[in-house]
A = this chain, B = another copy of it.
Amino acid sequence: MDRIRTGVWLVGARGNVATTAVTGARGIAHGTADTTGMVSARDPCARLPLVSVDSLVFAGHDIAERPMPSTAADLTEAGIVDRETFETVQEDLETVDGRVRAGTTRNTGSAASLADGDTLDDEGVTASELVERISTDYTAFLDGEDLDRLVVVNLASSEPPIADPERYDTLDAFERAVEEDDPDLPASSLYAYAALRDGHPYVNFTPSTGSDLGGLRELAARENVPHAGRDAKTGETLLKTALGPMFAGRNLRVLSWDGFNILGNDDGLVLDDDANKAGKLASKGDVLSTILGDEMHNRVRIDYTPSLGDWKTAWDHVHFEGFLGTEMTLQFTWQGADSSLAAPLVLDLVRLVAYADEAGEGGVQTHLASFFKEPMDVAEHDLSRQFAALESYVEAHHEASAVTDGGDASAGAGGSESADVGTGEESDQ
């Protein structure tokens, strides 16, 4: 599979998560970084013949002008990117940044305020023209770099949620809206539409709408393109889905679960706007009521504290009742670096949807639910059951591939758990 050249198109390429993902991938290629934090680098996924990390070729859209090396410099200062890797991948970052194209700010709410660079939003540009420009960017990269496959990943700032998403429940309705330049169509869905229509696998890493519309599901199914989303589960919510089932399994009654998040990066700034925050809060809040029921008092707050930079601290206070009405509490504080937690998952998802595409498995990739706060088409939020679903998928494919190939797939590049994930030919970036 490593002969197949895979491109990764990052919407929001100059942001912290994208920059960290590219930095990490190139650091792995150069041998200064390892795969800690990558789910696909350990059992069970490591058993699959996934595309090697070091062969990935990156490009993307952005609305900000600040180049990736500058973002990486800040992340190095903040202790998130290690200095050796930063220095080693300088040129690679410049190369990738040179491939970044102007994006659109349509319906991105306060995120639009980050647009200090060129955008696609010329006066009077229509939705349908935006789609064509985006599509052209995808194709130019594919052709220019002689790639066999392109995976599009949405890493742009959270958009405000859209009203009445069901109006786009059919592909027909969605395409009509594009045609008629419906002013409510959000940027994330235009990027997703262009990707799925052109046959590029798509991952929505954010709480924005992306491909999570009936019409786009229909398109992905028709074109047999894999897609997955939405809102990567990296910190506080990850913990909730690990701890919630413990309370449920022990029949302990959670009375209230209050979560307070403070963070200081652009994400925090954008989320300081109530409209943009709404989508994020919805996906963070839902996971608990699914596991623990609706009567529980459930609050999530996200606040912007500039001094924290890319660091996020969450404090959760869980008040619960046990036998004989005894009231107890669990509190936790989680101090994480968002980009460091998110970036490896970007690489995981790229590798896993590329694998699905190779295997001819289009539509929503439900076995990837453990990666998301609001997994499309999956009601299960229990982290360990989500992990089990991923394991079952791998087992089924590993077995199949063993039977078909008459050999152990894990012998392929990047396959075995102990092997370096980047044993393939190195790309030129």
Contacts and interface: CB of A to CB of B under 8 A. Distances in A.
A429 interface: no
Instruction: Find the residue from A79, A322, A332 having the highest chain B CB count within 10 A.
Output: A322
Interface stretch (A178-186, A245-253, A402-410): A245-253
A66 B79 CA distance: 25
A61 to B, nearest CB: 23
Contacts of A238: 246, 250
B303 A258 contact: yes
A332 B315 CA distance: 9
Contact of A246 (B41, B85, B239, B303): B239
A167 B321 CA distance: 44
B305 A297 contact: yes
B315 A306 contact: no
B340 A319 contact: no
A362 interface: no
A382 interface: yes
Interface in A302-359: 303, 305-308, 313, 315, 317, 319, 321-337, 340-341, 343-344
A27 interface: yes
Contact of A20 (B255, B324, B329, B340): B324
Contacts of A20: 323-324
Nearest to A257: B305
A256 B305 contact: yes
A258 B323 contact: no
Contact of A297 (B82, B246, B307, B328): B307
A23 interface: yes
Contact of A249 (B81, B255, B383): B383
A222 interface: no
A80 interface: yes
Given A305-B299, A333-B331, A370-B249, A24 B323 contact: yes
A37 B260 CA distance: 27
A114 interface: no
A99 interface: no
Interface residues of A, number: 73
A299 B35 CA distance: 27
B330 A39 contact: no
A326 B329 CA distance: 17
Contacts of A24: 323-324
A245 B250 CA distance: 18
A239 B79 CA distance: 27
A243 B256 CA distance: 20
A262 interface: yes
A280 B336 CA distance: 32
11 contacts: A20-B324, A23-B324, A36-B325, A82-B325, A242-B242, A256-B306, A297-B306, A297-B307, A322-B336, A328-B334, A329-B334
Given A33-B323, A297-B305, A307-B319, 11 more contacts: A24-B324, A33-B324, A85-B324, A239-B246, A297-B306, A305-B319, A322-B344, A328-B334, A328-B336, A329-B334, A388-B388
Shortest 7 CB-CB distances between A and B: which pairs?
Answer: A384-B384, A255-B307, A37-B323, A326-B340, A332-B332, A242-B246, A37-B322
